Amino acid sequence: MTFGACAAPSPASAAETLEGLRIDSAATIAYREEVHHPALAEPERAHGLMWVTPDGRLIKEQAAPRREISEIGKDFVSVREFPEDAANLLPIPPEARRMLDALRAVMSGRVGSVAAEYAPELTEVRPLWRLRLAVHDDPEYLPVFLIGCGAELRGMEIREPGAVRRLILFDRQP
């Protein structure tokens, strides 16, 4: 999965990168996802749509490999699986809370909140910039990376326990 080429000038700092981001929180975004794990010869792939509801819940409607609609709130994730149409409400475990919070904040365009709750660090500037979001008070917590070009957020990389790397590419810009 590639996040595309970039001709925009490199950002000078993490703050400048975040301040320059243009995110339309009302937009419905098409995404592609790749999940890498040491056990897998090939990554798992998925795609679908994402959007944020006015009350701040992130809806992730996965079309393939299996249809699934997830509603990510502050404390709970509601998952509806198809074709069974089975719904389940799951409390978000502490291990996943910050990652999902970051995802919701970014998709909602709450860049200020991201800057306040995480320690943004610019790790790459060319050709795409990569912004590492580490948790202020939890150095052990696995980081989230924002990947973009100029004012565009192209995607995210989320590190999860068990050496899982989740790459999310936004086909249309959020």
Partner 1 sequence: MTRLSLAALVALGLAAAAVATAEIDTDARALLGDDGSIVSALDTADGRSALLAVVDADRERRNAIARAIVEDLADEPMVARASAGVMTPPPGLADWLWRERFTLSPPPPPAFASEAMTMELMSARAALTSVGGGGLAHYYLLDPTGSFRRLIEALALAAGGGLPVADGVVQSLDDRAALVTIELAARPFDVDAQRALDRSIIEHVEHAGAEAIMVGPRPIAARVSAGLERSSKIVAGVGGGLLLLWLVAVLRSALSLARVCLPLAIGLAGAVLAVQTVFGSVHVVALGFGGALTGLALDYPLHLLSHARTGGDMARTRRLILLGASTTGVAFLSLLGAGIPAIGQVGLFVAAGLSAAAVAAIAIGVEGESRHAWQSPRRTPPPAIRWKLPALAILGLVAGAVVSVSSGPGTRGLFELPSAVTESIAALDRMIGLPSGRYRIEVEASTLGSLLAQQRRLEKVLAEARAAGAIGRSSMLADKLPGGDDPSLPDVEAFAAALSGGLRKAGMREGFGAEIIDAYRKALQGPPLGSGEVAPMAGPLASARLVRVEGDRLVATVSLWDVADPARIEDAVRGLSGVRFIDEQTALSERLDQLIARIGVCFLIGIAGCATILALALRSVRPVVEILASCLAAAALAAASLAIVGDGISVFTLIALALVVGIGIDYGIFLTSSEDPEASAVALSSVGLCASTTLIAFLVMAFFGTGLLRDIGMTVSIGVAATAVASSLRQKWSVGRG
Name the CA dihedral angle for 153, 128, 149, 105, rounded to a multiple of 10 degrees.
Answer: 20
Of the candidates 81, 79, 111, the one whose C-alpha atom is nearest the C-alpha of residue 92 is: 79
Q: Decide: is 53 part of the binding site for partner 1 (CB under 8 A).
A: no
Q: Decide: is 156 part of the binding site for partner 1 (CB under 8 A).
A: no
Q: Decide: is 46 part of the binding site for partner 1 (CB under 8 A).
A: yes
What's the half-sphere exposure (Cβ side, CA atoms, 13 Å) at 32?
A: 11
CB 29 within 8 A of CB 51: yes
**Which one-letter amino acid corresponds to residue 102?**
A
Within residues 95-124, the interface with partner 1 by CB under 8 A covers 95-96
16-35 footprint of partner 1 as x/- string (CB under 8 A): -----------------x-x
> C-beta of 95: minimal distance to partner 1 in Å?
6
Strand (E) or helix (H) holding 52 = strand 44-52
Site residues for partner 1 per CB under 8 A: 33, 35, 37-42, 44-46, 60, 62, 65-66, 68, 70, 72-73, 75-79, 81, 88-96, 160-164, 166
